[in-house]
Structure 1
């Protein structure tokens, strides 16, 4: 009897362990899907068909196929073949192969296959760090990353563009701090002086947008009835608002 009881206890322990392991795997898988979804709704693979477990085959256009898959969390991806107007939805994806005239889109990267036409933001950022000296592409990447909910790459890309003296990036960051265009999801608090300093420095270099933004900020700071008056308590108006921009 003692031997049987010990077996039962061990069996209960094993079942508990397997239950915990299963829960952990589910959480892990959900986290991966969430991260992938943040970076890109679908990774795009032109001239590609998928090998995997398909869940449906429909006579739909590429756009229709994408919309159907997007609205179903159980859809791991789809491929579309123009000939025959064939849309295939996939429950899981094992691999892929090249096929001219077809297109595939997936929620996660296809392991062991070529890079998608819209690689993950982190991958694109690493490449642009080495190649985009002017910061134009970094700025565009940062904006796109923010649109998809990837704040980390969004911030890093735009700040690096600003470090590389990209004036549009500098203005964009300044506007995050500007009381009138404050971006609570991007910076920790309003800072009129930070915004004004960036506008001022660029205005001195002849940037017309910065000049206009600085002038309007100075007017706002001098307006006691302004909605943003509480943000100008320590504003350095004598530094940024007096004198000529072109001394």
Structure 2
């Protein structure tokens, strides 16, 4: 009888069985082959079992079952039943309803219902026509950046800002702020861009922006600040003098 919880199944090649067992034994010992669960998130289908070519089967809890597939680029999908039967698939051809089961796949299941976590690009296209205040677009941008999709993240947050979402405008201002400069989001720190956004938001009654503007002006006025060189050309007389209150 095979070890590590694997069972021979009709049509399951012996080589595939050995390789699958080896993967379980190695676990996470080879970081170079592990996939990021954020950047490589699987599509989730509740109450679903997959139809395709299985590569391995093991008895394990749902969380561990999903991890087995997430960590292996050769896994096209995974099914887990209410009886803790975990099945990894080399190819996925379709899906069918099975109450209590959970399936996850690397690609959308053709001609099947939408997953609970639809593709980021599809969410963006939908929100372009439905999200008038940018609230959902800003939430999508955060989700996209978390999942490693910079393109969707940037499109979503700038569109949210254009639609008047203060949270999006404040977040972008922080990217340019020399104190919180995000070099993975913008090309260079720009105190004037940050100051202008803080100033405009403060005029609209945003207390958080007002606090950030005050602290930015204080830092810019400090000749001993570690960021002093970043404030060359900063328009203090435009953003830092007088009161912004009516």
Q: TM-score, normalised by structure 1?
A: 0.82
Alpha-carbon offset, residue 38 of structure 1: 7.6
1:41 match: 41
Task: Supply the distance in 1 between the matched residues of 2:126 and 2:207 (Cα, whole angstroms).
Answer: 31
Residues 39 and 113 of structure 1, relative CA distance in 2, 3 Å threshold: farther
Deviation string, structure 1 residues 19-70 (Cα, Å, up to 9, x no partner): xxxxxxxxxxxxxxxxxx8865101111111001111111111111011112
Q: Where does structure 1 lack aligned partners over 5 or more consecutive residues? A: 1-36
Counterpart for residue 203 of structure 2? 204
Distance 1:40 1:113 in 2: 21
User: Are 1:134 and 2:133 counterparts?
Assistant: yes
Residue correspondence of structure 1 range 74-93 to structure 2 within 5 A: 74-82=74-82, 84-93=83-92
Runs of 4+ in 1 over 4 A off after TM superposition: 37-40
User: Which residues in structure 2 correspond to 1:81-160 (within 5 Å)?
Assistant: 81-82=81-82, 84-160=83-159
Question: Distance between the aligned counterparts of 1:232 and 1:132, measured in 2?
Answer: 37
SS of aligned partner of 1:56: strand
Aligned residues: 210
- Higher mean displacement: 96-105 or 214-223: 96-105
Structure (1 or 2) with the greater helix fraction? 1
Q: What is the DSSP-based 3-state SS (H/G/I as helix, E as strand, rest coil) of the residue aligned with 2:98?
A: strand
Q: Which residue of 2 aligns with 1:57?
A: 57
- How far apart, CA to CA, are the structure 2 residues paired with 1:225 and 1:44? 52
**Structure 1 vs Structure 2 CA RMSD:** 1.3
User: Which stretch shows the higher mean deviation, 102-111 or 196-205?
Assistant: 102-111
Q: Is the contact made by 1:39 and 1:121 (CA closer than 8 Å) also made in structure 2?
A: no
Which stretch shifts more, 216-225 or 38-47?
38-47
Q: Secondary structure at the match of 1:138?
A: helix
Structure 2: tracts of 5 or more residues without a match = 1-36
Q: 1:34 corresponds to which residue?
A: none
Matched, 1:229 2:241: no
**What is the alpha-carbon distance in structure 2 between the residues aligned to residue 135 and residue 63 of structure 1?**
34
For residues 115 and 39 of structure 1, the distance between their equivalents in structure 2, rounded to whole angstroms, comes to 20
8 Å contact kept, 1:39–1:145: no
